[in-house]
Amino acid sequence: MSWFIFALIATLGWGFADLFYKKSSDENDNHSHLKTAVWVGLVMGIVAVILIPFAETKFSAISLIENAIKYSPASLAYIISMVIGYAGLRYLELSIVSPVQNASGALSTIAMIIYFLAVGRVTAISEEFSPLDITGTIIIVAGVVALAIVEKKISSKEKTLSEIKSEKKYRFGALALIFPLLYCVFDTVGTAADGIIRDEETGLGLGEIDVIILYGLTFFAAGIVIWLYMLIKTKKPYNPFSLKEIKTKGAAACFEQFGQIFYVYAMASEPMLAAPMIASYCVISVILSRIFLKERLKVSQYACVAAVIVGIILLGISEGLAEA
């Protein structure tokens, strides 16, 4: 299966994860985002333990810790970005948060190109990517950035008088944009680090299953720390297994893990092409928010979505030609 199919599946998985993240967020619960992180850590930890016998590296306790440390720049950046993203969903609409956050796909691609240029792999970039690859990537990046700008403008125009008068909503409304922006920064670091660490020539050469295990165990450990923090803070243990939590946070965590598995394989094959394509999952998020959260797309939003789809189609055509 090609990197394009892996990236496409990851895009769909994370689009649905975003929908359930939004459905599980609660503006009035100060720990809503932390509870979501606990669920994601739980699911990823379970999957990691299941996959240990299938790891490409035969882990001992010591080697597992060593490899986790090697991959920690990527895994910790991802975890921080995701928790920040969950917090932002408490105050902003999904269709605003997702496009802004996913500008990281563009930034991470630029960061990886700069890195590969710095280590002397200029010819590899020009030889590996066709004009269709470059054109498709540019269109996807432009579409994602344009969608973020359009969503911000529409949100400002459609803000109702009641929302403006709501002190809490108004106070956090403008400030809340810092959450997706910070997510974008940390996710850029994580995605770029992922591509660099996984690179066969200049990186550490970790296998796909190894990465899923290391990231999952790291997130599981983070989830335990977060659960203990909430216990100390609230003096009451958080129960993630209530029906409501399972239907929202549990579903979000499962879609997150599903997307993560295919993301790892896509990034292992073509990190500079996969990153901006997977970042376009915000298009899926926007469409789903319209369908299930009863919002409507405007002409400008349809244009941005169409641009991203065209970019993805171009990458698919290029992949097909390469394999022919």
| CA distances in angstroms from 191 to 50, 125, 153, 239, listed in the order given | 25, 18, 28, 32
Question: Tens digit of pLDDT for each residue in 31-74?
Answer: 999 999 999 999 999 999 999 998 887 878 888 888 888 888 88
> Mean pLDDT score of the chain, rounded to an integer?
79
**Helix (H) or strand (E) segment spanning residue 117:** helix 104-118
Q: Could you give the percent of the chain with pLDDT greater than 90?
A: 30
Instruction: Count other Cβ atoms within 10 Å, centred on residue 206.
Output: 22
**pLDDT grade, residue 164 (50/70/90)?**
very low
Question: Tens digit of pLDDT for each residue in 174-208?
Answer: 455 678 778 878 887 887 787 777 666 655 667 78
Determine contact, residues 22/289, Cβ cutoff 8 Å.
yes
Which token pair is 154? 């529409």
In this prediction, residue 26 carries a pLDDT of: 87
Among 123-132, 224-233, 273-282, where is mean pLDDT lowest?
Answer: 123-132
**pLDDT grade, residue 162 (50/70/90)?**
very low
Which token pair is 90? 């408490």
Which is more confident, 318 or 285? Answer: 285
Which is more confident, 90 or 155? Answer: 90
pLDDT over threshold 50, residue 254: yes
Name the nearest CA neighbour of 203 among 106, 6, 54, 71: 71
Q: Using CA atoms, how far apart are residues 7 and 1, in angstroms rounded to an integer?
A: 11
